[in-house]
Amino acid sequence: MASTQVVNISLPALPQGWAGEKDFKIVGALSGATKRNVEPVGPHFLAHARRSRHNRTFSEDERLQAQNSVKKTEVEEDDDISEDEDPMMLNREPKDWKGQDHYAVLGLKKFRWLATPEQIKRAHRKKVLRHHPDKKAAQGKGDESDGFFKCIQKATDLLLDPVRRRQFDSVDENADVDAPSKKLTGSKFYKAWGPVFVAEGRFSNKQPVPTLGDADSTQEHVETFYNFWYNFDSWRTFEYLDEDVPDDDVSRDQKRHVEKKNTNARKKRKAEDNTRLRELVDECLACDERIKKFRQQARAGKDAKRLAKEEEIRRAKEEKEKAKADAEKAKLDAEEAAKADREKNKKAKEAAKQASKKNKRILKGSVKEVNYFAAAGEPSAAEIDGVLSDVDLIMAKIDVDELAALAEKLTLAGKDGAAVKTAWTGEAQRLVEAGKLKAGEAKVFA
């Protein structure tokens, strides 16, 4: 708990001849003094405790705190940015600022285009603390030139200006990564070519820039990578290399001539850079084993499709030939079957014909066996002709089956004249009833 301190405060009196004395009007009176206890809190409490512990005054504590802050800043900056200057750089002429490496001047060579504005400011503070003319004079180095200090100021002004910094980054060859000079395979290929495209990607209007990937990258990733670089959209314009435009005292035509010359030079450098980048991508593509692998896979897939198509064509051809052979065989079988049926039908007809002839012989023989139904002795020609006429009439009216049935009856009747006549008479009566024969048309068998 902090100790309580009593602070007596009295309001000062207005000075004589105060400017507002004439127009001053009293509108009220101050209230009486009030005694309050004031205690420090937060950082103020810590400061109060530090002063009390070390028995310091306000001014002594502030001075020591400022010194510690400066030392802490210098240590932090030394840890982050610790590049020493090249002795030749210290002797650089400030007027030759366009040819200097601004990142190297500020000790940011390892950061370059990746350096943040905060890092640039911190690097500037460090360089100023080290190379400020006043500090050198205090160290007894007043005879040294302050040219490098001017280079520091120029580098800081340029790198903190986004437009001018981009112009310098556009031609900063120290940030480039050279492509491998020989063909590499395996992991060495990706390790050597990856940083090349990372460095080139700083000029892309489209971000983020796809990475090269590795041996396990998918075909989609690889195709996206090369499509990006073959359609690269670069912001490089090379203004930093422009020839300085003459001052106002030079003629307008001369200025226009220089401006036109700069414009043409930019276009030429832009075209050369595009060609360079295209050749770089071509070289990487030619060495990329993944492309060969994808082409082999595609070729294998095409071969598989071709073989499958050929197999399908072969199978369809075989099925067509088989169907044709089956159709021809079926046709031959049908012809053979038809021929066999014809032979069978022919034989059946022949058999039926033979059977019909036999049955007719039985029918005609049946009446002959019974002596044409003569009562006694030999029958007359008229009696024979009458019986045979009725026999022929009945045979003409009946079909093959009826003929066979009648022949069977007559065979059973044998030489029994009455039975034979009964069979004939019954058949004649059946034909009359069926409407195939008129009543009385068969005279003997009526």
Asked, for residue 62, whether it belongs to a domain, the answer is: no
Asked, for residue 42, whether it belongs to a domain, the answer is: no
Secondary structure of 369-434 as H, E, C letters: HCHHHCCCCCCCHHHHHHHHHHHHHHHHHCCHHHHHHHHHHHHHHCCCHHHHHHHHHHHHHHHHHH
Q: Do residues 195 and 162 both lie within one domain? A: no
Asked, for residue 353, whether it belongs to a domain, the answer is: no
Task: Tell me the pLDDT tens digit for each residue of 347-389.
Answer: 888 888 888 888 888 888 888 888 888 877 788 888 888 888 8
Count of structural domains, the chain: 3
Q: What percent of the chain lies above the pLDDT cut of 70?
A: 88
Across all residues in the chain, what is the average pLDDT? 84
Q: Do residues 164 and 210 both lie within one domain? A: no
Q: Do residues 155 and 240 both lie within one domain? A: no
Q: Do residues 203 and 124 both lie within one domain? A: no
Q: How far apart are CA 316 and CA 324, in angstroms?
A: 12
Q: What percent of the chain lies above the pLDDT cut of 90?
A: 30
Q: Do residues 411 and 394 both lie within one domain? A: yes
Q: Do residues 131 and 92 both lie within one domain? A: yes
Q: State how far the alpha carbon of 97 is from the alpha carbons of 73, 114, 284, 440, in Å.
A: 29, 21, 36, 153
Asked, for residue 8, whether it belongs to a domain, the answer is: no
Tell which of 230, 261, 287 closes a domain: 287
Q: Which CATH number goes with the domain that contains 410?
A: 1.10.8.840
Tell which of 148, 174, 200 closes a domain: 174
Q: How far apart are CA 436 and CA 278, in angstroms?
A: 111
Instruction: Give mean pLDDT, residues 161-185.
Output: 91
Query: Three-state DSSP class for 12?
Result: coil
Q: Do residues 126 and 198 both lie within one domain? A: no
Q: Following DSSP, what letter does each residue of 140-180 receive, concatenated?
A: T-TTS-SHHHHHHHHHHHHHTSHHHHHHHHHT-GGG--PPP
What single-letter DSSP state applies at residue 275?
Answer: H
Instruction: Give mean pLDDT, residues 421-446.
Output: 85
Task: Tell me the pLDDT tens digit for each residue of 68-121.
Answer: 765 665 555 555 555 667 777 777 788 888 889 999 999 999 899 999 999 999
Q: Do residues 188 and 273 both lie within one domain? A: yes
Q: Do residues 128 and 212 both lie within one domain? A: no
Q: Do residues 144 and 181 both lie within one domain? A: no
Residue 11 reports pLDDT greater than 60 = yes
Q: State how far the alpha carbon of 235 is from the alpha carbons of 201, 267, 280, 384, in Å.
A: 11, 12, 18, 136
Asked, for residue 295, whether it belongs to a domain, the answer is: no
Q: Do residues 280 and 363 both lie within one domain? A: no
pLDDT given for residue 310 in this prediction: 87
Q: Which CATH number goes with the domain that contains 131?
A: 1.10.287.110
pLDDT given for residue 281 in this prediction: 94
Instruction: Give mean pLDDT, residues 26-48.
Output: 78
Asked, for residue 423, whether it belongs to a domain, the answer is: yes
Task: Tell me the pLDDT tens digit for each residue of 298-357.
Answer: 888 887 888 888 889 988 999 999 999 999 999 998 898 888 888 888 888 888 888 888
Asked, for residue 386, whether it belongs to a domain, the answer is: yes
Tell which of 229, 258, 287 closes a domain: 287
pLDDT given for residue 1 in this prediction: 47
Instruction: Give mean pLDDT, residues 50-66.
Output: 85
Q: Do residues 389 and 403 both lie within one domain? A: yes
Domain that holds residue 163: 81-174
The Cβ of residue 445 has, within 10 Å, a number of other Cβ atoms equal to 23
Residue 226 reports pLDDT greater than 60 = yes
